Amino acid sequence: MTQPIPNPSGRDLTTPTSDERTWAILGHLAAIVAAVISVGWLSFVGPLVIWAIYKDRSAFVRQAAASSFNFNLAVWAAIIVGWVMFFTVILIPVALIVWIVAVVAALWFHIRAAMAANRGEVFHYPWGITILR
């Protein structure tokens, strides 16, 4: 799940600075904060804001925020699928399971990603809808 920082430019990359690691951690954890504030509906906004600010400054922060955003889109899609199941009434138990799995997975993987960013490692989420790079 963790790998060294990718090197798209061909030049040697040093380990991320303390400031870059901090912003990468915030890129991962901003999704949790935004989800709590918006009751789960805007979890992708925090990583999107950090990506927009740092996309041209730091490849490490950009990658962290982009992967967090992409993962949140997949979680968001799972929650919407849960709502569709919920409205079919007969699938309410399945919807509850989908919601629980989505929320627990989001918390688990965002915390693991933040810990990897703290070590200066790139974290690859297990699934996501690739919009940002």
pLDDT value for 12: 46
Buried b (16+ CB within 10 A) or exposed e, 58-73: bbbbbbbbbbbbbbbb
- Position 112 in a domain: yes
Domain hosting 36: range is 17-118
| Residue 128 pLDDT greater than 80, yes or no | yes
CA dist., res. 62 & res. 54, Å (int): 6
- Position 1 in a domain: no
The per-residue pLDDT for range 70-119, each reduced to its tens digit, is 999 999 999 999 999 999 988 999 999 999 999 999 999 999 999 999 99
Instruction: Provide the total of helices (H) and of strands (E) in the chain, helices listed first.
Output: 4, 2
| Residue 13 pLDDT greater than 80, yes or no | no
pLDDT value for 3: 61
Structure tokens at 16: 């991320």
| Residue 10 pLDDT greater than 70, yes or no | no
Better-scored residue on pLDDT, 9 or 60: 60
Q: What is the CA radius of gyration of the chain?
A: 16
- Position 12 in a domain: no
- Position 3 in a domain: no
The per-residue pLDDT for range 18-53, each reduced to its tens digit, is 999 999 999 999 999 988 898 777 888 899 999 999
- Position 31 in a domain: yes
- Position 6 in a domain: no
CA dist., res. 44 & res. 32, Å (int): 9
- Position 88 in a domain: yes
| Residue 5 pLDDT greater than 90, yes or no | no
Q: What confidence category does residue 11 fall into, taking pLDDT thresholds of 50, 70 and 90?
A: very low
| Total domains, the chain | 1
pLDDT value for 54: 92
- Position 26 in a domain: yes
